[in-house]
Amino acid sequence: MKRIVIFAAFCGLIKLILAALPDSVIIASFCRVPAEVAAFYYGAPLEVEALSFTAKGVTLAVTRACAATDFFALVAAVLLTAQILREGWRWQQLVQLPIAWAITLAVNSLRIVALVPVDAVFPKDHAPVIHLLAGVAFFLPAFAGVWWHSFNRVSYGNHKECKETPSS
């Protein structure tokens, strides 16, 4: 229960902070790198102002809606919560925020790269559903992996690394 309360508090606080940031900050911090990675992957020029590129007959524009800030809030909250449960609160634990940001950029970049061939197959009127499903397909397993990795290492006295081995 303590884990869930701490996690919810961090997630809510991070989401409030992100919601207060202007679009220009979110786009520069969360959208530019995935757009550049996807454009580079397809060898397509990136239109910097619109953060859009065309590859395989599909034009994608990376907007604030594509920023994955909710995913960042979830990942940051998991990393901070696990660290606090493991070691108690210390200011040094804020190093988890750039780690969460890097994970977010990596997963979002993969999602945007994967959208190009998927968008090429389906009609444009299906794009919102396809983009939602692509988000689920990439963000859910990544979040589950971060959660498992973070809380699997937390010691509650029954973790295999925490048990003393009998001396022979």
pLDDT tens digits, residue range 67-100?
999 999 999 999 999 888 887 777 778 889 999 9
The pair of three-digit structure tokens given for residue 143, joined into one six-digit string? 């979040």
Q: Which residues of 5-23 are buried (b: 16+ CB within 10 A; e: fewer)?
A: ebbeebbeebbeebeeeee
Residues 6 or more apart from 43 whose CB is under 8 A from it?
Answer: 55
139, two tokens:
């963000």
For residue 161, what pLDDT band results from cuts at 50, 70 and 90? very low
The pLDDT assigned to 15 comes to 94
Residue 163 is predicted with a pLDDT of 45
- CA atoms lying within 13 Å on the CB side of residue 72: 24
Reported pTM: 0.84
pLDDT for residue 162 is more than 90:
no
For 126-157, write each residue's pLDDT tens digit: 888 999 999 999 999 999 999 999 888 655 54
Q: Could you tell me the CA-to-CA distances from 151 to 130, 142, 156, 158, 159 in Å, in that order? A: 31, 14, 10, 13, 11
Query: Exposed/middle/buried for 130, CB within 10 Å: 0-12, 13-18, 19+?
Result: middle
